[in-house]
Structures are given as structure tokens and as C-alpha cells.
Structure 1
Amino acid sequence: MSDISQTGFCTECRKTTACRLQTEPVTRYIHGAEHTFSLTTARCEICGADMNPTGLLDVNIREIDEQYRAAEHILTIGDIQTLMDLYSLGKAPLSLAMGFGEVTISRYLDGQIPSREYSDRMRKALSSPAFMKSLLMENKDRLTPAAWRKGMQAAQELEQFSTLSPAIRSVILRLFSHLDEITPLMLQKLLYYIQSLSLTLHNEPAFPETCQAWVHGPVFPSVYRLFRSFTYDPIDDARFSIFRQTPDPLTENVCRVVDLVSASFGLYSGKVLEAVTHGEDPWKKARSGLPDDMHSSREISRQEMKAWFDKAGQQYSLCSCEGLNQYIQDLSFCLFHPATR
């Protein structure tokens, strides 16, 4: 609504007046079918008549477009742009790869609404690199060799995401919806604490992936391989769009744990969380007898994770942010000030 002028010419008052913006149900006909949209309207503050201030028409067009696409399960323009980014293909190459006419994607980016059939095809390509590979193979002769190679390479890289369970993909996506910046190191530790607290608070794992005791703390190898290219930088990855296209399998209990970890452990850097895990028995027992700098693929036992936090739960309220923050502060203080133990 901020794009809309707060004043305009009232045809009833015959002068410029202030207008009141509000949202009302409005019926429109699209392709012969009746649709009701929730649209921004403007009324004169003096007489209450309908007004058309500057910017209102553009806002209404966006509202209708967004609501119609949502109601009909049609991809948005942003989704189509993401599809181009995912597979490193321009407008014309993507059109040809999808089996469309050469200018189809350009028209969609200009605002033309795709048919349900074409929208479903693009949506499936967003969520399934294997499907995109099949389209690229089917339409190989329509593409230049360079475009085809770029698309295939991107699809093959994206297929790595299928190595993750739907549960851990949804956990990662939920973490990124709560936190602005997450490095690969921080992500590994947050996943470790989500798994540990899910085992302790609800007696069930949040996801099936196993955790290993690496030099820098607990690590889920399949997740590490996906994001290692970010090294120490915050993860900023267009590939998350694949996560968004798949059903969310998380239970309410797991969602609560993810939210709890985000609001507590998520306040600390990856290095602080690494240090905290080094003070906990599950990681230390898994690395027992190993030199500090030796790589190891030893698994951190879920039983050890649960046992450690069951014991911690006798001193701290593990189901509250306050209790978890106190746990982190106490453990990190002991690690950095060993003489006070």
C-alpha cells in the first residue's frame, strides 16, 4: 500500500481530498470464470466515495496476479526467474528445454499467465532435477551445445540434494526462515542440537541422517558436501527453491524444536557452538583415543546424544530459550576459563 498516494481527486467532492485505504473483496472475471480477490480500495475521507489515487491500479494488478496464481496453483514470475537461475539458462534456452516455443518464457516474464499444463511442467522442473534432465535429453537438438551442457551440469549438481532426506531438507529450510546468516559450520552445529533435543524432549530423531565426530565438532557428511563451497561465508543458495517445492514432512514436535534451537543456539557463531560441542560427552567419546587433528568418520551415537541431554535436563530447562542459553553460557564459560572448574 505504500506505493499508493494518500490523496486524489474525488469526483463527488470535485476536489483533491485525502483518501482512506482498506482491503475489500472484489469480484473479477478471468477466462470466463468468476474469482473473488481481496483488493486494496480507496475511499474519500470526506464523502466516502470510491477514489482512484495514483498507484492504486498497479497495486491491484499485482494483487490480482498473485492471488489468481495462488488459487490456480500457477507459478509466479519469481519462480520462473528462479528456474532460469537454477539451471543457468536464459529465456530462450529455457523455453526450448521445457519444450515450449522460443519466446514463451519471455512472455511469462512480461506477465502472461502460463497454462496449468505448462506451469505444472515448470514446477516439476523446480523440484526435480531428474525431470529437468529428462527434458534436456528430450529437447537436446533444439538447444546449442553450450546451453545444453550448462543445463545438464546444473541438473547433475542439483541432484545431490536428493541425497538428503525430506525431513532434514525441511529442517534446513525452516532454520533459514528464522536466521539471516548461517555459515556451513554453524549449520552443522544447529542440526546437531536439533537432533539431540528432539531425541531428549520427544524421544524421536528429527531426521534419519547420522552424525560423525569430525575435528571441528559434529558433522552430517551429506549436508557438508552440499554446502562446503561456501567455506566460512554465510550460505546464500538459489538451490533452496528445490526445498520449497517439496512437501514439508515435519511434525509439530520437530517444528517446535527447530524454532527453539533457532532462538537459542542460533544466537551464537559457528565457532562458539563448535567449542561447546567439544565440551560435551557425545563428541568426546566418539573421538576417544584420536589425535586432535585427525580426521574421523566415527559416528556420534544417538544414545549418547540423548543420555547427555537427559542429564543436562536435570539442571537446565531444555524446553525454554532461557534454559538453553544458560546451558550454552555455562558450558562455554567452563571451556574458556578451565581454571574455574
Structure 2
Amino acid sequence: MNIPGLIDENVREMDEQYRAYEGIVSAEDIEKLMKLYKIGKGPLSLALGFGEITITRYLSGQIPSKEYSDVIKAALTSPAYMKKKLNENKERIAPAAYNKAINAVVQLESIFAVSDQMLRVISYLFKRMEEVTPLMLQKLLYFTQGVSFVLNGKSMFSENCQAWVHGPVYPEVYNMFRDFKYNPIEDERFVIFEGAENQLNEDECRVIDLVADSFGLYSGKVLEKITHEERPWSSARKGYGNDIPSNEMITMESIEAYYIEKNAAYDFSSVEGLRTYIEDVLQRKR
């Protein structure tokens, strides 16, 4: 006796296994692409150089060829590639659809102002944390840099931060998420980096895990207070009043020296050591 639901489930599983084995995009990938570039099925088909109903067929279950799948994957992972395809096929697309998609491309391109490694770290923090505000993200990146110097003997990423009024800030990251203000970041653009964190090595993941399990327990405002008690930020702000803006760099050398010094007293290789350090800093602040 055949059970329709069971048959459908078996077919779905075989389809997923085949796609994974051959590296073929899924219907979910195509939906992400449409959402990412704010473009409908027909216009997307035309923009990629396909027939007008090709994407509709793929969303209905038809499996793309490897050639077409690679085109879709390239568009999903590279705004520059999507821009190229949009401009190649501009005459085939309605002006309104083209303008909306090209504007989405421009917004996405701003993300690439930071290094690939920074994007990996941000992606992993998003994966680890239930929600992250821009203020919280800035401070977690700073603490990640400090703990990386201690545990791995090197910086986690190449970007330098600046001593702003509200603590250390990576300007490029600030520009990426400034529209969220004090709200949690819910950014559909980051679907483009899904899985990027898989390129982090075990030692790098360990650093981020330690930071998420210690500093990540606090709000952005509390994390800001912690950085205000730390020498790298306060030294870079020397001569500035409390509310006076500055873009003075917090040098990597100052972060490294401070965290190595505090590690000797607290042991930053453990969550317990980091939490004790945080508690002591907050007690001092009171």
C-alpha cells in the first residue's frame, strides 16, 4: 500500500541528495536571490539570460542544469556578477524591475567595503547570538580582536577601530548597519554570506565562542561601559571631552598589550576567566 505523503517525502529527500551531490541550487536558494535583489520570477529569468518562465519552472520543482545552476549561484554570491547580468540584459527587463534590482546591488556592494575575514566573523556572531544590535556588534568585534591576540597571537581581522564617544567603532561596519540604529540587526542582505563562517578555522571559532559566551551576555550599553574602562579606548580619547567626537585610531598594538596584560591576571582562555574580568570591570565602574 502506497502512502502519498511518504512517497512525496522520499522524492523530496532524493531530490535534495541529488542537488547536494551535483552542487545544484535549491528552490530556497532561488527565493533568496529574488529577495536579495527585490526582483520577481520573470524579470530574474530575463536578467540572468534565461527564458522568461525558467525560474518559475525551477521553483515548481524542475531541477536546473549545472550550467544554469552555476549562473544562479554566481548571482547569489556576487553583487558584481549580478550587476553585470542586469546590464547585459537591461533591454529585456522592465525599467521599474531593473531600477529596483540595480539599487539592491548598490546597497549590497557597500558590504564588501570590509575584508572577507571580517564578514566571516560577523556571520559567525550572527549565528551564535539570538539578536545583535549595531552597538553590541561593534563591541563584540573589538573584544574578539583582543581575545584573538591572547589566544592565537595575532589579530582576528585587518580592520582598525576608532575611539568614538560610545566606545570602539569599526567605521566600515558602522556604515553597513547604521540604519538599524539601536534595534536588532535583521538584514536580508546577509543571506549572501550564509555559510561564510565555515571558512573560519577551529582556533578562530574558539575565540568567537568565548566572546559570545561571556561578553555576549550583556547589552550594547553595558559593553560600551566596559570599553570605557579599558586603556586602549581611554588612551586614544585622551584630550577629548566626554561628548566630543573623535576618529582617533585605537591601535592594534594597544589592544594586544592590554589584553595580554589582563590575561595574565584572569586567564582569557576560559569563559570563567572572561566573566570574572567583566564582573570586576563593572564593579569598578560602579
Q: Please confirm whether the aligned pair reaches a TM-score higher than 0.5, indicating the same fold.
A: yes
Which residue in the other structure is 1:260 paired with? 210
Tell me whether 1:311 sits opposite 2:258 in the alignment: no
**Cα contact 1:126–1:245 (8 A) shared by 2:** no
What is the Cα-based RMSD across aligned positions, in Å? 1.4
**Cα contact 1:127–1:245 (8 A) shared by 2:** no
Which residue in the other structure is 2:15 paired with? 65
Q: Relative CO higher for 1 or 2, CA cutoff 8 Å, sep ≥ 6?
A: 2
Please report how far the alpha carbon of residue 295 of structure 1 lies from its aligned counterpart in structure 2 after TM superposition: 1.5
Q: Match for 1:326 among 260, 276, 286?
A: 276
Gaps of 5+ in 2: none
Tell me whether 1:165 sits opposite 2:115 in the alignment: yes
Which residue in the other structure is 2:62 paired with? 112
1:306–1:121 CA distance, 2 compared to 1 (3 A)? same
Which residue in the other structure is 1:206 paired with? 156
Counterparts of 1:88-99 in structure 2 under 5 Å? 88-99=38-49
**Cα contact 1:215–1:292 (8 A) shared by 2:** yes
Which residue in the other structure is 2:89 paired with? 139
**Cα contact 1:195–1:205 (8 A) shared by 2:** yes
Please report the TM-score for the alignment, with normalisation by the length of structure 1: 0.81
Q: If you compute each CA radius of gyration, which structure gives the higher value, 1 or 2?
A: 1
Work out the number of aligned pairs and report it: 286
SS in 2 for 1:313: helix
Of all paired residues, the percent bearing the same amino acid is: 52
Which residue in the other structure is 1:150 paired with? 100
Tell me whether 1:189 sits opposite 2:126 in the alignment: no
1:320–1:252 CA distance, 2 compared to 1 (3 A)? same
**Cα contact 1:212–1:298 (8 A) shared by 2:** yes
SS in 2 for 1:291: coil
Distance 1:79 1:164 in 2: 24
Please report the TM-score for the alignment, with normalisation by the length of structure 2: 0.96
Which residue in the other structure is 1:243 paired with? 193
Distance 1:246 1:263 in 2: 21
Distance 2:8 2:222 in 1: 48
Distance 1:310 1:205 in 2: 13
Which residue in the other structure is 1:174 paired with? 124
Please report how far the alpha carbon of residue 53 of structure 1 lies from its aligned counterpart in structure 2 after TM superposition: 5.0
Which one-letter code corresponds to 1:127 in the other structure?
T
308-317 or 129-138: bigger deviation: 308-317
Please report how far the alpha carbon of residue 99 of structure 1 lies from its aligned counterpart in structure 2 after TM superposition: 0.7
Which residue in the other structure is 1:218 paired with? 168
Tell me whether 1:83 sits opposite 2:13 in the alignment: no
Please report how far the alpha carbon of residue 244 of structure 1 lies from its aligned counterpart in structure 2 after TM superposition: 2.5
Which one-letter code corresponds to 1:296 in the other structure?
S
Which residue in the other structure is 1:270 paired with? 220
Q: After TM superposition, what 4+ stretches of structure 1 lie above 6 angstroms from structure 2?
A: none
Distance 1:245 1:305 in 2: 29
Please report how far the alpha carbon of residue 164 of structure 1 lies from its aligned counterpart in structure 2 after TM superposition: 1.3
SS in 1 for 2:163: strand
Please report how far the alpha carbon of residue 255 of structure 1 lies from its aligned counterpart in structure 2 after TM superposition: 1.4
Which residue in the other structure is 1:127 paired with? 77
Distance 1:58 1:328 in 2: 53
Please report how far the alpha carbon of residue 250 of structure 1 lies from its aligned counterpart in structure 2 after TM superposition: 2.5
